[in-house]
Structure 1
Amino acid sequence: MSKKIVVTGIGASSPIGGTAPESWESLLAGESGVRTLEYDWVAEYQLPVTFAGQARVKPTEVLERPIAKRLDPSSQFALVAAKEAFADAGSPEVAAERLGVDWATGIGGVWSLLDAWDTLREKGPRRVMPLTVPMLMPNAPSAAVSMHFEARAYARTVASACASSTESIVNAYEHLQAGFADVVIAGGSEAAIHPITVASFASMQALSRRNDDPATASRPYNVDRDGFVMGEGAAALVLETEEHALARGAKIYAEIAGGAVTADSYHITANDPEGRGAIRAMQTALEQAGATADEVSHINAHATSTPVGDINEYTALKAIFGDRADEIPISATKAATGHLLGGTGALEALFSVLAVQNRIAPPTINLIEQDPEIPVNVSSEPQPLGEGPQLAISNSFGFGGHNAVVAIRSVD
């Protein structure tokens, strides 16, 4: 018999807020977290893209200095979001062997890696920090969260590009269903706004180049969208079985009703134009939720603001929802936050949790002229979802053909 898995805590550090509540309030207010990068290296390397969605609050302003200095920024963000989420969940008293961590990152400790490389070239091997490898390894954020909370059930890492942290939530759902833990801290983090990543994404024509107006650069579904905007930060959800949550008197935000992971096996960067992997992921997530497509009342779309990606996702949505794909309130929240890569799925799942709890679909900013080929129900203002039970899906699709979808149901 399947267990009901619920969300009891949330935390975030994003380009639009230093906490989950701040990020949600800014999202509803239609704020943009994207701005010009004020670093010397932008001009030094003549980067063709000069803006990104930087975290509104630096993790070093939150963490104690002795802790922060031993962590790559990707791990710093992870710890900030996880600490907020665990406290929000009431700091559940759970045996260390029954507390797990499912965490994700798309790129990992790129700053630690390349800073060490610069030190080696300029100052020699004796000056390279001894902690370089523990700081740069992709599992460092998961390890940092695990060690902080003494979570000994397990500490696992997902690295599946932009689908990473949605996959971590799916994994947490499955691990709780399997009885591997009673409480799981799940989420993802990314801190990859670095000259090499900006240059690389720009070189492949993936980034928007609206340097003159960064705040409106990410414009999903707009007819003149020209690429995604890089973002950074983290988001965390505390998940547990409903039985465990009720036994300790925890507040419950929403239910993680199902989730699925599939692969396109199509192309290293492009997603399948027929959306077959995305379709299977959405279908399976709904099957796990014991729901039909007709029950879905809200969608947080992957919607990165790329010319091809937005259309391909719409193709998959049409296959699942038919004509309702043009009626269901859809939010494309990357317009406000930018694309947090490995951390984006967790942040969007968090937004979906709050959407079904508050029965409101957050706005999609920067929608000036909607692409007629994508006639979805997207609004520049918050949309009420109505009364009664709510079911949302949150989609994430990543380089390499990774697809991850989570289904989120309201609780009363």
Structure 2
Amino acid sequence: MTAAPGNSRVVITGLGVIAPVGIGKVAFWDNLLAGRSGIDFLQSLPAENLPCKLAAEIRDFDPLEHVYQKKFLKVMSRDIQLGVCAASMAMKDAGMQAGEVTPERLGVEFGTGHISFTPQELADAASDVADPANPEAYTRWGEGQLGKIAPLWLLRQLPNMPACHVAIEHNARGPNNTITSADSSPLLAMQEAMRVIQRDHADAMIVGACASNIHPVDIARISLYENLSRRDDDPARACRPFDRDRDGTIVGEGAAVFVLEKYEHAVRRGADIYCEVLSVGAGCDGRGYQNGAGGTGLVRAMSAAMDRAGIRPDELGHINAHGKSTKRDDWVESRAYHQALGDEAESIPVVALKSYFGNFDAGAGAVELAGSIMALRHGMLPMTLNYEHPDPLCRLNVVRDEPVRLRNRTAMSVNRTIMGQSTAAVLRAL
């Protein structure tokens, strides 16, 4: 199980994570093993008029502790701050000293989603044109009101800005790209980073994703097309992937970033290697109900990833599931496992980490991947929270009640968007 002939092996040598269950890899892992949920009642904003009053928020986060170029904080949204700070953690964790990587050989691949702005940012500009006593005021917008918007306002919302800020922070002058494909973004970013390294266009890549849906407009918007849990009697038990009684997901926020490196380069500088990225596969459901209901895109993504890695289903030590905790998505995902893995679908240990921190677009997939990498490092798999009544339509070996020891050090992590774009990555501890 090595890289395809002619391709460089790609390994992960650094990890940074900022999540509702912990800031930094140690706190994050300790809380996963202890089964501590990061979901609670919304505290950072009024929730009485929102469709869901629960969220997975990150508390006690101070970007000043991690950002090098502090003057840029004023043009960073919450999402960007999380991503840039997680990248600084990852680079520090990789122990990559100045000069060990030529700047032109260090690149950035980042996944992001929709970045919202706060109404207060445009309040001054909108105040006069919203005057009901002067219905023609909006026609004068360009003359007087436009100038009241801060010149750099848009920089807080552009999805490519996390990758830009990370590159500036770490003098990464190599290939730089942003993937905006919702939940599938982090693994697609990892796939592209692998290709960059294997084409010998870089020795190392900073790869990750970030997102924050802790915003009244986001929560209202997401509730229009997504099922959000209404179980506000016990927040920690609200998100219940693959459980019979699940009623929806929970919004959240977070970021995780990884340093991917050419194997020979990592060995030469004496890096501590977490695992090898054997492969990444991708697919999309395509047109028609049958394709979506069967999760054909996820089937193709998993099959492609295993084929490229040269492994069989029975060689997987665990699956890190998308596990969104909605009725339809969990059913579709379960069917896809049975199609792609056959009889092994009911025996491979499955963990659904969204039960700890909900779903937050691109960032959730990256944080989940951090969980799998830490599981490979420690040989233990956290349990899935709130899996109390197995859904008979989701016949999976979901880890419950307590963490379990891994049967081997090979893992597959998967993600799928609501539109059916899917990704799967196969990792192996060395």
Q: For the superposition of Structure 1 and Structure 2, which TM-score range results when normalised by the shorter chain?
A: over 0.9
| Matched residue SS, 1:7 | strand
| Matched residue SS, 2:251 | coil
| Matched residue SS, 2:252 | coil
Change (3 A) 1:402 1:219: same
Change (3 A) 1:290 1:188: same
Change (3 A) 1:238 1:119: farther
- Residue deviations 1:269-308 (CA, integer Å, cap 9, x gap): x981112111110011111212122211100000100001
Does 1:178 find its partner at 2:199? yes
- Residue deviations 1:195-222 (CA, integer Å, cap 9, x gap): 1111122233521111222211111011
Deviation at residue 106 of structure 1 after TM alignment: 1.6
Give the match for residue 384 of structure 2: 364
Task: Name the TM-score, length of structure 2 as normaliser.
Answer: 0.90
- Residue deviations 1:167-225 (CA, integer Å, cap 9, x gap): 11121122211212100000000022211111122233521111222211111011110
| Matched residue SS, 1:171 | helix
| Matched residue SS, 1:233 | strand
Give the match for residue 307 of structure 2: 287
Q: How many residues align?
A: 404
- Give structure 1 stretches of 5+ with no counterpart: none
C-alpha distance in 2 between matches for 1:200 and 1:182: 41
| Amino-acid identity (%) | 34
Give the match for residue 161 of structure 1: 182
Deviation at residue 22 of structure 1 after TM alignment: 1.1
Which residue identity is paired with 1:306? Answer: T
| Matched residue SS, 1:368 | coil
Give the match for residue 60 of structure 1: 63
Deviation at residue 410 of structure 1 after TM alignment: 1.3
- Structure 1 stretch displaced more, 176-185 or 202-211: 202-211
Match of 2:415 among 393, 396, 407: 396
Larger Rg, first or second structure (1 or 2): 2
Change (3 A) 1:182 1:409: same
CA contact (8 A) 1:172 1:186 kept: yes
Does 1:206 find its partner at 2:211? no
Give the match for residue 101 of structure 1: 108
C-alpha distance in 1 between matches for 2:29 and 2:423: 23
Deviation at residue 59 of structure 1 after TM alignment: 4.3
- Structure 1 stretch displaced more, 83-92 or 288-297: 288-297
Deviation at residue 63 of structure 1 after TM alignment: 4.4
Give the match for residue 250 of structure 1: 271
- Give structure 2 stretches of 5+ with no counterpart: 1-5, 129-144
Matches within 5 A, 1:8-407: 8-43=13-48, 46-60=49-63, 62-63=65-66, 66-92=71-97, 93-107=100-114, 109-111=115-117, 114-122=119-127, 124-266=145-287, 272-378=292-398, 379-386=400-407, 389-407=408-426
Task: Name the TM-score, length of structure 1 as normaliser.
Answer: 0.93
| Matched residue SS, 2:188 | helix
C-alpha distance in 1 between matches for 2:27 and 2:190: 22
CA contact (8 A) 2:111 2:209 kept: yes
- Residue deviations 1:333-373 (CA, integer Å, cap 9, x gap): 00001112111121111111121222211110111211122
Which residue identity is paired with 1:373? Answer: L
C-alpha distance in 1 between matches for 2:314 and 2:305: 14
| Matched residue SS, 1:12 | strand
- Residue deviations 1:89-112 (CA, integer Å, cap 9, x gap): 0024211100010001121x3126
- Structure 1 stretch displaced more, 60-69 or 276-285: 60-69
- Structure 1 stretch displaced more, 142-151 or 348-357: 348-357
| Matched residue SS, 1:315 | helix
Change (3 A) 1:234 1:316: same
Which residue identity is paired with 1:399? Answer: I
